[in-house]
Structure 1
Amino acid sequence: MQTNNTQPVLLDELPSPAHAPTRAAWLAVLSVAVGSFALVTTEFLPVGLLPSIAAELRVTEGIAGMMVTIPGLVAAFAAILVTIGVGKTDRRYVIWGLTATLIVSNLIVALSHSFPLVLAGRALLGIGVGGFWAIGGALGNRLVPEAHAARATSIIFAGISLGTVAGVPAGAMIGELVGWRMAFFAASAVATLVLLAQMWLLPRLPTATSLTFGQLPALLRVKKARLGMLVTLLIFIGQFAAYTYVTPFLSQVAGLGAKTISALLLIYGAAGFVGNLVGGWAVARSVRKSLIATGVIMGLSAAAMPLFGATAAGATVLIIIWGLAFGLMPISVQTWMFKAAPDAMESGGAVFVATAQISLASGALVGGVSVDYLGVSSAMVVGGLFALAMAAVIALWAKEDDKVQGKLHAVH
């Protein structure tokens, strides 16, 4: 999500557009990217820990999935309310505050023995995630000269993209070694280091304007952007209806042990990283085809899990294919939205983030209901069908896109 040119830049603190960015400017960009990585990683941390969390707190795995649903719902509202509520506040203070919510949230979860209190901690995380997606992702233009803004923005978005594929394997590995609570303690410690780095590296980022509720519908007035919202809804619901419950599936259906599951989730994350890199190449050629490929590959691999994922070999192959598709997803969706309405993304960015987070939360909720009533395998099928529906929507209604201009590159 890009900012427009109405925001002031302090020339005494940021490099001149005529010169290459200073090392301090790139370090500031990196601090925002690492912050986005830490927030999104923590958002998905419970997925690899659901069985152990559910067992200790005495809830079903479907109910435990609310640890993903709740922050997603809160983030949807926070994306809009935080963006409007902060007004003209210096953006570095906003970023510090959003990162601080991560520290407190993880401590609450790690120390809680009551599931409602755990959900309260996760709700606090939702504020940080929603606000960071909407505000942090738009800082690339503010931290480096305009000629280098696309690169800076891609680095920040890479933090978000990599966080989506790193959170689950990281949580699973730490949980397997030292318990699920230590995973949240570790996340809190990392967030503390991130906050200190941001306090040291971020320059002043004042703004002369503030977003109002009247500006929010700007993105919705663009037909291609509305189609992008529908795409976001379908693919995010599909992904998180299935993936939120992949750990119980691998345990109960495939009969795999905790160490094997942790290894598979790590493989999934590595495949997602590769998919993110491939996504930079794919969207440069055709965002439409990239989205279709994402939906088809993700849909078929997830839906095939009950048929072919009951063995270690079958599950491994499908996890790798699924991971590649998941890595393609963020950059494909983000690039479509940027191409659809680059001038509306400052005001419409919060609306897009809200849509993504509502879809994420809805996916975890739909998957949880399916798991509790139809069994864990059903979540894989439901998620796969939503992803395939997204591919069908793009194939039927989207026109062939032009060459991407100002696309969000994967970081190479």
Structure 2
Amino acid sequence: MGSSASAPASVRENRTSLPQWVAVGVLTLATFLVVTSEMLPVGVLTPMADGLGIPGGAVGMSLTVTGLVSAVTAPVAPRVLGNLDRRKVLAAAMVVLAIGNAVTAMASDFGLMVVSRVLLGIGIGIVWGIASAVATRLVAPRNIALAVSFAVSGVASASVLGVPLGTFVGNAFGWRLAFGSLSALALVIALAILIALPTLRRPEANISAVEAVPRMSLLRPAVITGLMVVVLLVTAHFAAYTYVRPVLENQTGFSANAIALLLLLYGLFGLAGNFAAGAAAGRRPRLTVLLLAAGITVAIVILARFGTNALAAGAAIALWGAAYGGVSVSAQLWMTTAAADRVEHITGLYVGIFNGSIALGAAVGGLMVENSGILPMLWATCALAFASLLVGLFGPRPTTGPVEEIKLTVR
């Protein structure tokens, strides 16, 4: 138990075994639950606000709390974990996530909800801080890009199943039951992690790229450019996406269940975008991220300009899902190729910046919705997304070889 996914280094060089893919699958379930827990307030924002007796903007700001806490936790986690078994760390993080969701389900006011979101932020930060790095260590080198795509596909899968299903459950049985269900699932996944994953101590990097980057500071030009793109693009996305329900309610007049179906559409396209972008980013991460940034910009423009038309709104949501679905894996692979000698540390830094941008986006979106309205918020996020495209176009790019040339040995 707990070691079935391990294999000798010589075997890992040639193929990835079924137990190893099962371990990647369990890791994907963990990221799925992490993102569902973080994003579910988007789908149940209106009833959650009514149940707690607070404005919708305040519920949206709960994503800011979670994002800030996870932004601090993610980059710190790899540095303080030392040689602790990553398998046990991930399982413990899922238990923390279960407690956070349970507290959310029992919250009676804004203060208790904030406490629950702090707990969620800790669990999310730990899982995100090491999940992608762990995924690279579970498979043969030639399958690294695919393993990262699977692990990060939890983001898109949460949109496909987690948030829409949680929205349906929230509409039918109440938002508290939706969060309570997530708490129970987190405990199940914690047990699965202990069973399926091997013992994973601190990784050692062995880079065999043609133009290998020497071990050095993480703050390299290509890393800085990538992080700037992430900040602008993710801030733009979450400033708009956090309030997608009131956007669709007020701009297009969709019902609650129709919005849940649109979120499902968003997620289906996001899942497809995740794997398509993962395959492309394995070779050309920068170009892939730029194409995704362009897609998000166009989608939000359509929603802002033609959002009163149901067909146009649906097309915008589908394009938005396809584009954003690939952002996480593509930007992760950008970071991996830009700092191939520091995979676990660059993952933690990237996830911290990513979650900080989620927090910033939710805060910016909330302030604009409350003070300026929905339409100005959408146009402002268009400008941010376009700015991310410009930064990526003119900034330094990663110079190391393909992702599969990065090999990690498991101690």
Same-fold status (TM-score > 0.5): yes
TM-score by length of 1: 0.87
Q: Give the match for residue 218 of structure 2.
A: 219
What is the alpha-carbon distance in structure 2 between the residues aligned to residue 208 and residue 181 of structure 1?
A: 40
Task: Tell me the CA shift for residue 376 of structure 1.
Answer: 2.2
Give unmatched runs, 5+ long, in structure 2.
205-214, 407-411
Q: Show CA shifts across 1:11-68 (max 9, x none).
A: 9982112334443333223222211211122111111111111122122111111221
Aligned to 2:106: 111
Q: Does the 8 Å contact 1:242/1:381 carry over to 2? A: no
**Could you tell me whether the CA contact under 8 Å between 2:29 and 2:154 is conserved in 1?**
yes
1:17 corresponds in structure 2 to: 9
Provide, for residues 223-272 of structure 1, a one-character-per-residue CA deviation record: whole Å limited to 9, x for no partner: 11110110110011010000000001111221111111111111111111
Does structure 1 retain, via aligned residues, the 8 Å contact 2:4–2:197?
no
- Aligned-partner Cα distance in 2 for 1:23–1:405: 22
Counterpart contact for 1:138–1:346, Cα < 8 Å: yes
Name the CA distance, whole Å, in 1 between partners of 2:288 and 2:154. 20
Among 27, 31, 36, which residue is 1:32 paired with? Answer: 27
Query: What SS does the corresponding residue of 1:233 show, helix, strand or coil?
Result: helix
What is the TM-score with the length of structure 2 in the denominator?
0.88
Tell me if 1:202 matches 2:197.
yes
The equivalent residue for 1:3 is none
What is the aligned residue count?
A: 392
Say which SS state the counterpart of residue 357 (structure 1) adopts.
helix
CA distance in 2, matches of 1:203, 1:130: 21
Establish whether residue 52 from structure 1 lines up as the match of residue 51 from structure 2.
no
Given that 1:286 and 1:401 are in contact with CA atoms closer than 8 Å, whether structure 2 keeps it comes out as no
Distance in 2, Cα, partners of 1:396 & 1:248: 35
Which of 354-363 and 248-257 deviates more?
248-257
1:256 to 254, 259, 262: 254
Residue identity opposite 1:16 in structure 2:
P
**2:84 is equivalent to residue 92 of structure 1:** no
The SS at the match of 2:171 is helix
Task: Determine the C-alpha separation between the residues in 2 that align with 1:111 and 1:247.
Answer: 23
Which stretches of structure 1, 4 residues or more, deviate above 6 A after TM superposition?
A: 10-13, 400-403
Range with bigger deviation, 157-166 or 174-183? 157-166
Bigger drift between 25-34 and 309-318 goes to 25-34
Match of 1:172 among 167, 171, 176: 167
Counterparts in 2 of 1:1-400, with a 5 A limit?
14-19=6-11, 20-146=15-141, 148-163=143-158, 166-207=161-202, 218-220=217-219, 222-283=220-281, 286-398=284-396
Residue type at the aligned position of 1:172: T
Q: Which amino acid aligns with 1:304?
A: I
Relative to structure 1, the CA distance from residue 328 to residue 204 in structure 2 (aligned partners, 3 Å threshold; closer, same or farther) is closer
5+ residue gaps, structure 1: 1-9, 210-215
Q: Give the C-alpha shift of residue 150 in structure 1.
A: 4.5
Map of 1:213 onto structure 2: none
Q: 1:217 to 1:398 in 2, by over 3 A?
A: closer
Give the conservation status (yes or no) of the 8 Å contact 1:242–1:382: no
Which letter maps to 2:6? L
